[in-house]
Structure 1
Amino acid sequence: MPETVSLVQSPPPEVSLDEAGRIAGGLFGVTGAVRSLGSNQDLNFVIHDGHVDRLLKIANPATPATELEAQSRAAALIAERTDVRVPLPHVFADGTSVRPVPLGGETAHARLLDFLPGRTLSGNRYLSPAAVRAIGRLAASVDLALADFDDPGADRVNQWDLRHAMSALETLLPSVADEVLRARLSVVAAEAWAAVSARAAELPVKVIHGDLTDDNVVSSDGRIPDGVIDLGDLGRTWRVGELAITLSSLLHHDGVDLTTAVEAVAAYHALLPLVDAELDVLWPLVALRAAVLVASAHHVLSTDPGNEYAAENLAHEELILEAAVSLPMPVATELVRGAAGEPGAALATPSGRLIRRRYTPGLVDFSVTSPSLDEGWWLDEDAEASILRAAKAEHSFASSIATRFGEPRLTRSRPYAQEAPENVPLGLDLVVSEHVPLQAPWDGVVEASGDLVGNGLRLRIMGATGVAAGPVREGEVFARVADHATISLVADGIAVPTFTTAALAPAWRPFVADPSPLFGLPPAMIHSGDAAWLLEKREQHVAEVQEHYFTDPPIMERGWRELLVDADGRVYVDALNNVTSIGHAHPWIVEAIRRQWSLLNTNSRFHYPAIADFAERLADLLPDGLDQVFLVNSGSEAVDLALRLAQAHTGQRDILAVREAYHGWTYLTDAVSTSVADNPNALETRPEWVHTVDAPVSSRTDDPSRYAVDAVAEVERLAAGGTPAGAFLAETLYGNAGGVALPDGYLDAVYTAVRAHGGVAVADEVQVGYGRLGHWFWGFEQQGVVPDIVAVAKAMGNGHPLGAVITTREIAESYRTQGYFFSSAGGSPVSSVVGHAVLDIIESEGLQENAAVVGTYLKERLEELGSRHPLLAAVNGFGFYLGPEFVRENGTPATEETAAICDRMRRLGVLIQPTGDHQNILKVKPPMVFSRASADAFVEALERVLTTGW
C-alpha cells in the first residue's frame, strides 16, 4: 500500500496586487506594475519595472523553505546542463533564494524569479506533432540534467507524486459529489494501480520536475516549446512519472489524439531510454494522473468555490480522463511500446479449421486500390453489401465469400471528415450462399452468443445461427452461418472493436489474431501504409531536387473528382491540383486512353485524324488569326517554344518578363523565371538579355496604374539602348503571387509598347487558361487583349503530359529559320484524344460555369472568414484560381504561419500549399469539378485552424 498522504494543501491566503508590490519591493528591491497569474496552490505575480518582467512567487504556507531552495538549485542545474530555458531565481549574498512573508497569521515564503518571455501551451489550442515531440524532448532533457541531483528538499510527499496517487485519491474523492463520476474514478484508478504495482519494484527512482505540462512549458515562437517553468512539484519519485504527467497534459489539446500524444514518448525515449517496466506502467500512470486531476479539481472547487483557474482546468481535465481511458490499458500500453520501438508480438492464430475445405471462401477486395470501387463506387452507402452480393453470385466455384482482415476498407472512408476513418477491420466478414456449418478449431466452451472461448482466446462470431452452447471438442459443429457473419479472433478479456483506425491498428495486433487461416485462406498481408519507408526509398533514387509536397507526405493511391485517397484510406479534398482540371479518374478520360492505346499510339509525325481534329478545336477556342498549333508535352516546353518563336520572328533576342513569376525549368524558361521562391538566385543569375519589370500587384500601391507606366518606360529604355524586347512575357493573371488580377489596362499598354518596337506579346496561360477563372476561358480575356502567342498546358491533359503553343501563321512560319520542329509524343494519338476528351468534359459538364459559381461562393466564404481572423488579410483571384493571403499585424508576410497552416490543413483532410515569393499565400487551384460541399469543407478546416491554432 502506498504511503499515506495526510492532507492536500489548502488554498493560500489572499494577497492583493498592492500588497504583492510591497513584498517585491521590500524583500527584493523590485518595483513596478503588478499583475496576477492563476494557480491552484501558490500565488504568482508578474512585476514589470518598465524594462523587464520578473515573477514573484509566494508559496503556500504549507510549503517549507527547504523545498523552495531545492527548486532553485534544480533550476540552476537545468540551465547549466541543457539548452532548455528556465527561470533562475534571485540569489542573495548568503547563497539562498527564499525569504519569509507573514500572511494572515501564517508564514509563507517568497522568491523572485526571471520571467521567461514567450507563451505557455496552456489551454486546448492545437499542438502540432513537432510541438508534441519537443515537449517530450524537454522532459527527457530535464530528467537527464537532474539525473544525479540529490537534495533533501526534494524528498517530500505530495498529492502529485504518482507513487502516492491512491492515497491522495482517498482524500480527494469524497469531494466529488457526482456518485457516477466518483465510482468511475475509483475503477479507473484501481485498474491502473494494479498494473503499476505489478512492476513498481523495477521502476527507477530519481528527482524529477514533477509538473512538466503544457501549462509549464514556454515557447519563444508560440508553437514549439523551448523553456520550462514552475518547479513547484519537484520531488524524488518514479522517473517515468515525469513523462506520464507530461503525456496527460497533452490529451485535451485540439488535434492531439493518442497516436499523436505518444510521439512525445518516442522523443523522450530517443534521449533517455525507458526501461521495460517503465514502458509497461507509463499509460496506467497517465490514467492514474487523469483520475487525480479530476478529483483534485473537484476538491479545490469544494473548498474554494470561486477559484476560476480550477474551474477552467476541470473542463480540460475531464477531456484528459476521457482520452486516457479511450483504449483498454493494455492496448494503450502497446501504443506506447510501438512509439518506443518495442512493439509486442502479434497474436498468433492457432492451427485448426472453422469450416470444412469444401466451404473455403473466395476473397472480396474493399481496399483503396480495389477495381470494384472504381468510378467513385466506394462513396455509395450500400457499396459493401452490393459488392458482396455480386461476388457471391459470381463465385460459382465457392459457396462462401470472405473479406480481408486488417486491410483498410475504402468503403468505410468518407470525404470531408477531419479525423482519420475507423476503416481497418479487426476481423472478417463471411457471406454464404448455403448454410455453412462452423466446427470448433480447438477445444473450448461455446457461449449463447455463438462465441467460442478457450486457450485465452475468444472466437467472436456475430450472426451465427443454431448455436449449441456448452463445452465443445475440436472438429465438432457448434453453429452455422446462414447468410452473413462477422468473425474475429481476439484475446479473451479485451473489448475489441470491429474496426479501428490505421494508426491504432498496430496497437491492437497483440490482442487480435488473423482469422483467415481458420477458413483455409493464407494469412492476410497486413497493410502498414509505411509512408516513411517509401519516402526513404524515393530519396535514395529520385534526385533530391525533385521536391514533394509536405515533409512527411502520405502515400496517395487513388483519386476521384476533387478527392484524393491515401494508402490508409484517408480521404482528402484536393484544393491545389490544377493539373487534373476535370477531376481525378474521370471515366471518359480512362476510356479514351484505353481505346486509343488499343488502336494506335505512336510518333506524332505519322498521319492520323486525332492530331488534326484536336489542333482545329484548339484554334477555334482562340481569337481569329491565332490558328497555328504546336503540340508539346508540358508547360515548360510550351513557354520555351513560345519564346523561341518570338525570337525567330522578331530577330530580337531580348525578352522582357515580370518579376516574381515562374515559367518553367528549361534553359530558356528558367532564364525568364524570377520567382525567388522557386529559385533563390533567380534575379542574380538571369542572362543579360532578360529584363524584368515589377510584379503588378495592385494592393502594394495606392496607384496601380503606375505599373503599366513603369513597364512601358522600360520598353522604351530598352529600345533606346539598342536592345528592344523581342517578346514581352507575362502570366495573364498573376499566378505565382497568388491569383492576383493585373491592373486594368496593364497588358494593353505594355503589348502596344512592345509591338511598336517590333516585339510580340506572349501570354503564359499554362495555369490560368481553360476556363479556370470561370468568367473567362482565357486569362487574357479578363484584360481585353489578344496576344500574339499563347502557351498553355496543365489543364489540357488532366495529368497526361500535354501542352500547346498557338500563334499566327506568320509567326509559326518564322520558326523555319531555326530548322524544323517536332515533338515525338506531343500530339501523339493518345495525347490528342485526351486533349479532345478534356474539352468535351469541360463543355458538357459546365465546368467553366462551375468555376464561376462555386469559385465565387468559395471566395465569399473566405472573405467572411478573413473578416473574423485578421491574419487572412486578402483573398485574391477569380473562379478556381484564388490566393488567400496571410499577413501579420505588423504588415509582414506570415511565411512560417502559412507553412504551418498548410500542414495542419492536411491533417484535417484538405490538401493545400503555399505560393508567392514570400510563401504566405495559399495556392487554391482545385480540379474544376470542385463542389460547394468541398468548398465548405475547405473553409471549415481553415476556420478550425485559424481558431485553434497551427
Structure 2
Amino acid sequence: MGNNVSEFATPVPAFSDAEIQKLVREIYGIDAAASALVGDRDQNVALKSSTGEKYVLKIANAAEDVSILALQAELADHLAAVDPSLGIAQAVKSLSGASIPQITAKDTDGTHAVRLLPFVEGQLLAHTPRTLSQVRAIGAYLGRLTRALQSFGSPVAHRPDFMWSLDNATGVESFAGDILDPADRALVEREFFRYKLRCKPHLQGLRKSVLYQDANDHNIIMQADDPDSVAAVIDFGDVAYGSTVNDLAIALAYLLLDADDIYATARALISGYVGVCPLQPKELEILFDLAAMRLVMSVCISSNRAKDFPDNDYLTISQAPALACLRRLDSLNREFLSCFARHVGGCEIFDGQRNVLASIRSAGKSARSLLGIDIQSAAKSLVSMREGARGAEYIEDQSQYTSWLTECMAREGSEIALGTYLEDRTCYQMDQFQSEAGESRSVHLGVDVFAPAGMSVHTPLDATVVSVTNNDAALDYGPTIILAHNGIPGEGTKQPFYTLYGHLSLTCLKTLKPGQKLAAGDKIAEIGDISVNGGWAPHLHFQVMTSLLGEEGNFFGACEPSVVDVWQQITPDPNFIMGLAPESFKYDPLGPDQLLEERSQLMGPSLSVSYDKPLKIVRGKGAYLYDHTGRQYLDCVNNICHVGHANPRVVTAMAKQAAILNTNTRYLHETILTYSDRLLATLPDNLEVIYFVCSGSEANELALRMARNATGREDIITLDWGYHGNTAGLIDISPYKFNRKGGTGRKDHVHIAKLPEAQAAEPIDHYLESVQQGILASIDRCGDGPAAMIAESISGCGGQVVLPDGYLKSAFEMVQRAGGVAIADEVQVGFGRTGKGMWSFVEQGARPDIVTMGKPMGNGHPVAAVATTRRIADAFANGMEYFNSFGGNPVSMATASAVLSEIEDKQLIAHADAVGSYLMDEIRKMSAEYPAIMDVRGRGLFIGVECTGTLGGDIVSFARDRAILLSTDGPHNTVIKIKPPMVFSYADADTLMAVLKDGFAHLSP
C-alpha cells in the first residue's frame, strides 16, 4: 500500500529472473533460484539459495519513500528485541552492511530500494482451514504485537496523509463515486455516515501508538505443524501512527470476510486480543464501525484505482467479499455490535448499564400487576415452544397452538400460562428469524403471558409512552407499546429503562400517543386475538430493555443463541419487574396427584392433607407460600412460622450454629443459658426454671408428669373441646380428640370443665359464676384432689374462643387452693400472637405454676419448652434423671433466640394487635350483611369467624381456589380460623378481605 493516489500511477518493478539472480549475487553474495510472488506495488520474489536457505526479495516501487522502508527495518529490529516470540523477520544486511540497498532499472533509470528478508516458514492464513481457536490465537498474537509496538516511536511513523489510516477514512470518501453499482454505493455512503457519527467524534480521545495495520489473511503466517498457532506476520508497509484499536479493527474486517458466524469469529478474536492487551470501553464500542470502514476504504480505493488500471484484477479481487460482508454488517444493529464488543472485551455494554440494571431490580420491588388480575396468585401453567421440552407438547403449526393451549389451561385449571425467558424455541427456525450473523434468532427475550384475548394490560410502573406501533407483519408483535421508566441517579444523571408490550389489540393505537405520562397500574391495552397479533395464540409478550439500541417502534424479541450473554445485559429477565416466584418458570414433573399416590403407599392413611385439591408447597417467604407452579398463596393459618416463612435472621442463626456445633445438654454450652435467661425474663417471676423439649406435645406431657410428681395425684381437669397434643396421654385429656371420631371417650382420671361459650346468653358476671361452679364440681370429682388443671389461654380447637375476663385467674386459683397445679398451655397463642403481651394468660390475670410453649418458638424448627416454679422443679428431681436427646441443643437455642429477637426488634406484638384489630373490625362490618356469620372473635392475629352449617368449609375451599389459605375448627368445624404469621400486613388483611367478601357474596344462603 502506498502513501497517496499519485503513487498508483507508478508501475510495479519488472526485473527478470536472471536480473534478480544477478543482483542478489552481487548485493548479498547469495546464489539463489527466483520465483515470482504477488504484489500490487512492489515486486516480490521468492528465493531459494544453493545451500537451501529461503528468502523473500522485495524490490520497492520507484515512488516508494525510502524513509518508510527504513522505518520498517527499525521496527522489525525493535520487535525482535522486545518480543522475539513474535517471529518478525529482520532484513538481511548486504555485503556492504546496508539494510536497504538501492538498485537502478536499466530500462527506466528508476531507483528501487531492495530488502532481503528471511522466509517465514509456515502456511498463509488464506490457505489454512479456519477454526475459532485459530482466530483466538490470532487475537492473542495481535495483542502481543500491540503491546510490543507501544514502546516504539519514530517521527517517520507520523504519516498524516497516509491513505490507509482509519483515522483519516473520510479522505477517500470522494472515491465512493467510483463504485459502479448504485446499491453498493449507497451501502458505502451509509457506512461513511455511521463513521462520522459514531467514530469521528471520539478519535481525538483514543489511545495512540505505532500500528501494523495490515493483518489480512495473506500477511498472517500460521505455523506449519500447528495451523491454530501464529508463526509471524509479514509486510509492514502500512506501518503508521494512529489509534491503537485500529490494528484489531483491521484484523476483524479481514477475518469477517469469509466468516460463517460473525459473532463467533468476532468473540474469538476480541477475547484473544484483550486477554493479552485490554482495550478501553470506547475503543471496543466503535470496533465494528472501524472494521466496516476498513472494508469501505478497500472498496473505495480499489474502485478508484481500477479506473486507471482496468486490467489489474488484483485491484478488485477483494471487492465482492468485502461488499458481501458490509451488507451483512449493515443488516445488524450497530449499537448491538458495540454492546457485544464491549461485553466480550470485559466492559459494561454501555456506560452506566449497571446503574440501569440496579434501577430495574429496585423498581420491581414496587411494581404493579401487568394484567387485570394478580398474576402472582393466579393459577398458572408452563408452556413451551421448544421441541422436546419436558412437560410440554411441541406444536409446530401455530394455527393449532391456540386450541392446544386452551385445552392445557382448562385441564390444569389455569388462569394464565407462561412462556419462558431465554427459551431456545424450535418455532423460531423460520425465515423471519434468520440473522445475517449466521444463526437463527431462536432465543426468546421476553416472557409470554398467555391469557384470553381482551384481558386488560397495565403498566407496572410510572411511565412515559415512547412508541405505539402496529408491527403487523406475519409472526411479528402486531400492536406494540414501548414505555420508558425513570432510572436511579447514576453519574449525576437518570438513565431510563424500557418495557415492551406486544401482541395487543388495535385499541391502544388510538388511546396512547408518544410522550403520554402514565401512572403505575394504568390500563394501556388489551391482549389481541390471532387476527391482529401477528398470528399467535392470544398472549402478552412482555420484555424489559436497558437500551433501545436506536430502534424505533419495534425491538428484538429473540436473539441468536451464541450471544445470549450479551442480550441478557440489554434485555434482562422480565421477572425482575413481574416478580413471579421462580417456580413459575420451572417444570416440575411430580405434581400433587403423583405425590398423593406415593404418599398413600408409603405413609399411614390417618395422616391428613389440607383441601380436596391438595397443594404441593415448595417454598415460603414471609406471609406467603408457593406451590410447584409458582402460584403465590397468602398463608392465613400457619401460626407455626411465627415471624414469617424462611425468616432470614432465623435461617442465618440456625445455619451458623449448625456449622459450628450441635449436641445435647450433657455438655455445657452458653446458648441454652443465654436463651433461658431471655425467655424467663418474659414470664412472671414465680416461673424460675425451664426445660427444653422438641414439640408442644412433649412439653404438655412433661408438664403433666411434673404435676403428678409434685402432687402425688393422678386426676386432671381439662376444658371441654381442649386439645393438648398427639401422645396417648395427651389424647386422654383432650376432649377434642377423645369425644370425636376415632376417640374412646373420657377416662376416669379426666374431668371436663365446661368451655365458656363464645356468646353467653346471660350477663357475663352470672355466666362467669356458673362456669366457675363447673370448675369446683370438677375438683370435687377428683377424689383426693386434682393433680392439675390444663387449659389453653384461648381455646383454639374449641373454635378460637376467648375466655371471659377473669375466668382463667379464678379457675387456676381454685385448683391451686385444692392443692393442684395450674398449667397454661400457650403452645398456640404464646409469643405475642394475641397482641396484648408475650403470653395470653397474663391478660387474664392468671398466675400458673407451669407454662408450656411450642409451635411458634422456633419458627418451624422443632423446639418447645416447659417453664415452672422452683418448688415443682425441686420435687421433680426425685432421683430419676430427666434427659432429652434433642431438647435444648445449641441449634435449637440459637434458632429460638433469633425468633425472640425478631419479635422484639420488629415490635410484632403491637403489630399483631393493630393488624388483628383492623381485620376483625372489617370482618364485623361485613358480617352485618351476612346473617350466616354468627360471631367474629379473637385477639390479635388469632381470629375465629363462626358460620352456620357448612358455610365455613365452603368459604375455605373458595379462598383456596383464590390463593388464600384458611382452615376450619371448632367442635363441628364451623369456625373459620385465621392465625397467620405475625408479619401479616394491612395489605395482606385487605387481600384476605377482598376474597372473603367475594366468597360470602357467592356462597351465603
TM-score (ref. length: structure 2): 0.47
Q: Could you say which residue in structure 2 is the equivalent of 1:15?
A: 14
Q: Could you say which residue in structure 1 is the equivalent of 2:414?
A: 397
Q: Could you say which residue in structure 2 is the equivalent of 1:388?
A: 405
Specify which of 289, 299, 304 is matched with residue 304 of structure 2.
299
Partner Cα separation in structure 1 for residue 62 and residue 278 of structure 2: 38
Specify which of 436, 442, 458 is matched with residue 455 of structure 2.
436
1:823-876 Cα shifts (integer Å, max 9, x gaps): xxxxxxxxxxxxxxxxxxxxxxxxxxxxxxxxxxxxxxxxxxxxxxxxxxxxxx
1:312-337 Cα shifts (integer Å, max 9, x gaps): 32233234324544532221122222
Cα displacement (A) at 1:226 = 1.9
Specify which of 360, 368, 373 is matched with residue 357 of structure 1.
373
1:398-447 Cα shifts (integer Å, max 9, x gaps): 1x323112232355579xx9975532112233432241122344232552
Q: Could you say which residue in structure 1 is the equivalent of 2:333?
A: 328
Q: Tell me, yes or no, if the aligned pair for 1:453 and 1:459 is still in contact at 8 Å.
A: yes
Partner Cα separation in structure 2 for residue 391 and residue 274 of structure 1: 52
Q: Could you say which residue in structure 1 is the equivalent of 2:777?
A: none
Cα displacement (A) at 1:236 = 0.9
Letter in 2 for 1:275: Q
Tell which has more relative contact order, 1 or 2 (C-alpha 8 A, sep 6+): 1
Structure 2 unaligned runs (5+)?
A: 471-478, 485-495, 530-537, 588-596, 603-1005
Alpha carbons of structure 1 residues 105 and 168: separation in structure 2 relative to 1, 3 Å: farther
Please give the secondary structure, in 2, of the residue aligned with 1:91. Answer: coil
Cα displacement (A) at 1:106 = 4.3
Q: Could you say which residue in structure 2 is the equivalent of 1:86?
A: 88
1:237-293 Cα shifts (integer Å, max 9, x gaps): 111111111121211235553233222222221222222332223222112212212
Q: Tell me, yes or no, if the aligned pair for 1:446 and 1:470 is still in contact at 8 Å.
A: yes
Cα displacement (A) at 1:352 = 4.9
Cα displacement (A) at 1:52 = 2.6
Q: Could you say which residue in structure 2 is the equivalent of 1:130?
A: 133
Specify which of 226, 229, 232 is matched with residue 234 of structure 2.
229
Specify which of 121, 135, 142 is matched with residue 125 of structure 2.
121
Do structure 1's residue 452 and structure 2's residue 490 form an aligned pair?
Answer: no
Larger CA Rg, structure 1 vs 2: 2
Specify which of 199, 224, 246 is matched with residue 241 of structure 1.
246
Alpha carbons of structure 1 residues 27 and 517: separation in structure 2 relative to 1, 3 Å: same
1:780-820 Cα shifts (integer Å, max 9, x gaps): xxxxxxxxxxxxxxxxxxxxxxxxxxxxxxxxxxxxxxxxx
1:15-63 Cα shifts (integer Å, max 9, x gaps): 1543544554454444543322223333211122342321111223332
Partner Cα separation in structure 2 for residue 228 and residue 524 of structure 1: 54
Q: Could you say which residue in structure 2 is the equivalent of 1:164?
A: 168
Do structure 1's residue 44 and structure 2's residue 62 form an aligned pair?
Answer: no
Q: Could you say which residue in structure 1 is the equivalent of 2:144?
A: 141
Structure 1 unaligned runs (5+)?
A: 528-556, 558-594, 601-950
Partner Cα separation in structure 1 for residue 248 and residue 12 of structure 2: 32
Specify which of 181, 185, 205 is matched with residue 182 of structure 1.
185
Letter in 1 for 2:419: T
1:104-153 Cα shifts (integer Å, max 9, x gaps): 46443221111112111126x64212211111121122222222212233
Q: Could you say which residue in structure 2 is the equivalent of 1:371?
A: 390
Q: Tell me, yes or no, if the aligned pair for 1:139 and 1:243 is still in contact at 8 Å.
A: yes
Do structure 1's residue 288 and structure 2's residue 293 form an aligned pair?
Answer: yes
Q: Tell me, yes or no, if the aligned pair for 1:438 and 1:480 is still in contact at 8 Å.
A: yes
Alpha carbons of structure 1 residues 61 and 169: separation in structure 2 relative to 1, 3 Å: farther
Letter in 1 for 2:464: D
Q: Tell me, yes or no, if the aligned pair for 2:82 and 2:148 is still in contact at 8 Å.
A: yes
Q: Tell me, yes or no, if the aligned pair for 1:440 and 1:473 is still in contact at 8 Å.
A: no
Partner Cα separation in structure 2 for residue 459 and residue 319 of structure 1: 33
Partner Cα separation in structure 1 for residue 438 and residue 401 of structure 2: 22
Cα displacement (A) at 1:229 = 0.8
Specify which of 112, 116, 119 is matched with residue 112 of structure 1.
116
Partner Cα separation in structure 2 for residue 505 and residue 234 of structure 1: 38
TM-score (ref. length: structure 1): 0.50
Q: Could you say which residue in structure 2 is the equivalent of 1:814?
A: none
Partner Cα separation in structure 2 for residue 353 and residue 303 of structure 1: 68
Q: RMSD in angstroms over aligned alpha carbons?
A: 3.8
Deviates more, 1:97-106 or 1:478-487: 97-106
Do structure 1's residue 466 and structure 2's residue 507 form an aligned pair?
Answer: yes
Deviates more, 1:509-518 or 1:497-506: 509-518
- 5 Å matches for 1:905-924? none
Q: Tell me, yes or no, if the aligned pair for 2:381 and 2:409 is still in contact at 8 Å.
A: no
Cα displacement (A) at 1:235 = 1.1
Alpha carbons of structure 1 residues 7 and 497: separation in structure 2 relative to 1, 3 Å: farther
Please give the secondary structure, in 2, of the residue aligned with 1:60. Answer: coil
Cα displacement (A) at 1:525 = 10
Please give the secondary structure, in 2, of the residue aligned with 1:108. Answer: strand
Q: Tell me, yes or no, if the aligned pair for 2:504 and 2:525 is still in contact at 8 Å.
A: no
- 5 Å matches for 1:474-873? 474=518, 475-483=521-529, 484-485=538-539, 486-490=541-545, 491-492=547-548, 493-494=550-551, 496-516=555-575, 521=580
Number of residues of Structure 1 aligned to a counterpart in Structure 2: 525
Letter in 2 for 1:36: A
Letter in 1 for 2:165: D
Partner Cα separation in structure 2 for residue 526 and residue 65 of structure 1: 68
Q: Could you say which residue in structure 1 is the equivalent of 2:56?
A: 55
Letter in 1 for 2:87: R
Q: Tell me, yes or no, if the aligned pair for 1:212 and 1:228 is still in contact at 8 Å.
A: yes
Partner Cα separation in structure 2 for residue 501 and residue 524 of structure 1: 26
Letter in 2 for 1:388: L
Do structure 1's residue 70 and structure 2's residue 71 form an aligned pair?
Answer: yes
Partner Cα separation in structure 1 for residue 319 and residue 449 of structure 2: 46
Alpha carbons of structure 1 residues 335 and 154: separation in structure 2 relative to 1, 3 Å: same
Alpha carbons of structure 1 residues 165 and 523: separation in structure 2 relative to 1, 3 Å: farther
Partner Cα separation in structure 1 for residue 104 and residue 146 of structure 2: 32
Please give the secondary structure, in 2, of the residue aligned with 1:127. Answer: coil
Partner Cα separation in structure 2 for residue 126 and residue 386 of structure 1: 50
Partner Cα separation in structure 1 for residue 163 and residue 409 of structure 2: 61
Letter in 1 for 2:450: V
1:327-376 Cα shifts (integer Å, max 9, x gaps): 322211222222222243476445454422346673534368732357xx
Q: Tell me, yes or no, if the aligned pair for 1:258 and 1:323 is still in contact at 8 Å.
A: no
Partner Cα separation in structure 2 for residue 250 and residue 204 of structure 1: 23
Please give the secondary structure, in 2, of the residue aligned with 1:219. Answer: strand
Alpha carbons of structure 1 residues 95 and 44: separation in structure 2 relative to 1, 3 Å: closer
Q: Tell me, yes or no, if the aligned pair for 2:454 and 2:526 is still in contact at 8 Å.
A: yes
Q: Tell me, yes or no, if the aligned pair for 2:422 and 2:444 is still in contact at 8 Å.
A: yes
Letter in 1 for 2:142: A
Cα displacement (A) at 1:499 = 1.9
Partner Cα separation in structure 2 for residue 89 and residue 481 of structure 1: 73
Alpha carbons of structure 1 residues 207 and 129: separation in structure 2 relative to 1, 3 Å: same
Partner Cα separation in structure 1 for residue 119 and residue 5 of structure 2: 33
Partner Cα separation in structure 2 for residue 12 and residue 331 of structure 1: 44
Letter in 2 for 1:268: Y
Letter in 2 for 1:71: Q
Q: Tell me, yes or no, if the aligned pair for 1:136 and 1:265 is still in contact at 8 Å.
A: yes
Partner Cα separation in structure 2 for residue 373 and residue 132 of structure 1: 40
Partner Cα separation in structure 1 for residue 69 and residue 585 of structure 2: 54
Partner Cα separation in structure 2 for residue 273 and residue 258 of structure 1: 19
Cα displacement (A) at 1:211 = 0.9
Cα displacement (A) at 1:523 = 7.7
